[in-house]
A and B are shown apart, each in its own frame.
Chain A
Amino acid sequence: MANKGKARWIIGGVVIAGAILGISFLNLGDNLIYFYTPSEAQAKAAELKEQTIKVGGMVLPGSVKWQPEGLSLDFMMTDLKGHNISVHHNGTPPDMFKEGQGVVVEGRISTDGQSLAARNLMVKHSEEYKKPGAEHSSMDKELLEKSLFKGQQSLGK
């Protein structure tokens, strides 16, 4: 009887541990990809153009054109490796939107994968918190790049 009870505990523990491990190893396919990187979106543009998708990247410095009169925003989203998508958004960008910032854009991509009509524009910032006056470092950008383009090699091909 005591043995039976113990065996149940062990089986229960193994099942729970297995479930946790299973979830961690299973990437659950495309369902858990919250956003595509620019290169992934471009590679799949032909099949994705029918859907509303999210694409994440960085705002290419020097590419932002903001017209407050018409609430019209144009910029280039880049993965810093030569894959650029031109984004058009009708609306005021979030406060933290700026050149070199991370963005996740929800919208529809053109067939050639070169442009994205945004429906929703979100900022993705880094996990760095710094007081003013400290030396400017490239840490913020590096952290952002790592977080934005994680898992790209394995998923992109």
Chain B
Amino acid sequence: MFNSEDKREFLIGSVLQTFIIFHWCLAFFYAPVDIHQGPVYRIMFLHVPSAITAFASSLALCVFSVLSLRNRSERLMAWSKGTAEVGLLFTILTLATGSIWGRPTWGTWWTWDARLTTTFLLALLYAGYLLLYGSMAPGPGRTRVCAVLGILIFADVPIIYKSVTWWRTLHQPPSMIRQGGSTMDPEILWTLVAGIFVMSLYAAWLVRVRGRNILLADEIESASYASFGT
């Protein structure tokens, strides 16, 4: 049956799910319709928090990677892997929601502009990290190689963020943080900020659960090898 740890995680998960439902209510009923795009713009409340969560995962992966290089800790590697998985999940969610949003507003599912291309690159980098991690045996060698890649992935994030400012793109420039203030009406802005908050919390919890599960799986694996040795 459930132990006390499982119960705690179940409780945290339920609270976070409630937050998500609350945010969806804000997105559908509190935030007004947009005069330019109509109701379709509401997918932004999923798209932008996903993107920011994917960026935050990259920062977390960078921090875990630096720490694991310094401490040579397998524990930190498990956290790194969990973070990369969550990062990949939210990058794919960003690409998917963006694509669904792009079809009715831009008239296309996909185009190779700088913003879309660099975000696609982030998904590839996360996937590459996980492939590399999975292909190597645990130990200092894997720590060194994966940590270096983990740090380098973060270099893509400022490029994604600034891509719409540096280059001509189909994607619109930032609406929230920009010179001259936000270009969103306050109800829309605060619904978006709430979404970013909720999704980041949810992602942090996902990383926590995944990190623990990976550690557990490693433990079981090494225990099984130990029994072979006798």
**What total of chain B residues lie within 8 Å of the partner, measured CB to CB?**
39
Residues in B with CB closer than 8 Å to A66 are none
Is A132's CB under 8 angstroms from B35's CB? yes
A-B pairs with beta carbons under 8 A, tally: 110
- Docked complex Cα distance between A132 and B188 (Å): 12
Instruction: Please tell me if B159 contacts chain A, counting CB pairs below 8 Å.
Output: yes
Residues in A with CB closer than 8 Å to B107 are 93-97, 121-123
What residues make up the interface of B, taking CB atoms closer than 8 Å to A? 32-37, 41, 44, 104-108, 111-114, 151-152, 155, 158-159, 162, 164, 166-170, 172-175, 178, 183-185, 187-188
Is A125's CB under 8 angstroms from B105's CB? yes
Is A130's CB under 8 angstroms from B185's CB? yes
9 cross-chain pairs, A with B, having the tightest CB-CB distances, nearest first: A94-B107, A131-B32, A127-B172, A127-B175, A129-B184, A128-B183, A34-B113, A129-B188, A131-B185
Is B108's CB under 8 angstroms from A122's CB? yes
Least CB distance, B112 to chain A, in whole angstroms:
8
Q: What are 7 sample pairs from A and B whose C-beta atoms fall under 8 A apart?
A: A20-B155, A35-B170, A96-B37, A96-B107, A130-B184, A131-B33, A140-B36
Instruction: Please tell me if A147 contacts chain B, counting CB pairs below 8 Å.
Output: yes
Contact of A34 among B158, B162, B167, B173 (CB under 8 A): B167
Least CB distance, B217 to chain A, in whole angstroms:
31
What residues make up the interface of A, taking CB atoms closer than 8 Å to B? 16, 19-20, 23-24, 32-35, 56, 93-97, 104, 120-132, 134, 139-140, 143, 147-148, 150-151
Is B175's CB under 8 angstroms from A128's CB? yes
Is A56's CB under 8 angstroms from B37's CB? no
Least CB distance, B226 to chain A, in whole angstroms:
33
Residues in A with CB closer than 8 Å to B113 are 34
Is B168's CB under 8 angstroms from A130's CB? no
Is B114's CB under 8 angstroms from A139's CB? no
Is A127's CB under 8 angstroms from B152's CB? no
Residues in A with CB closer than 8 Å to B112 are 34
Is B168's CB under 8 angstroms from A16's CB? no
Contact of B169 among A34, A120, A126 (CB under 8 A): A34
Least CB distance, A153 to chain B, in whole angstroms:
13
- Docked complex Cα distance between A128 and B204 (Å): 30
- Docked complex Cα distance between A148 and B188 (Å): 24
Is B166's CB under 8 angstroms from A24's CB? yes
* Contact A124/B170 with A96-B36, A129-B34, A129-B175 known, Cβ cut-off 8 Å: yes
- Docked complex Cα distance between A33 and B106 (Å): 18
Residues in A with CB closer than 8 Å to B35 are 130-132, 134
Residues in B with CB closer than 8 Å to A122 are 106-108, 111, 170
Residues in B with CB closer than 8 Å to A126 are 36, 172, 183
Is B155's CB under 8 angstroms from A19's CB? yes
Contact of A104 among B167, B170, B184 (CB under 8 A): B170
Is A143's CB under 8 angstroms from B111's CB? no
Please name the residue on chain B nearest to A13 by beta carbon. Answer: B151
Give the one of B106, B108, B111, B162 with max A CB within 10 A: B106
Is A129's CB under 8 angstroms from B41's CB? yes
Least CB distance, B121 to chain A, in whole angstroms:
12
Is B32's CB under 8 angstroms from A132's CB? yes
Residues in B with CB closer than 8 Å to A19 are 155
Least CB distance, A145 to chain B, in whole angstroms:
12
Residues in B with CB closer than 8 Å to A130 are 34-36, 184-185
Is A16's CB under 8 angstroms from B36's CB? no
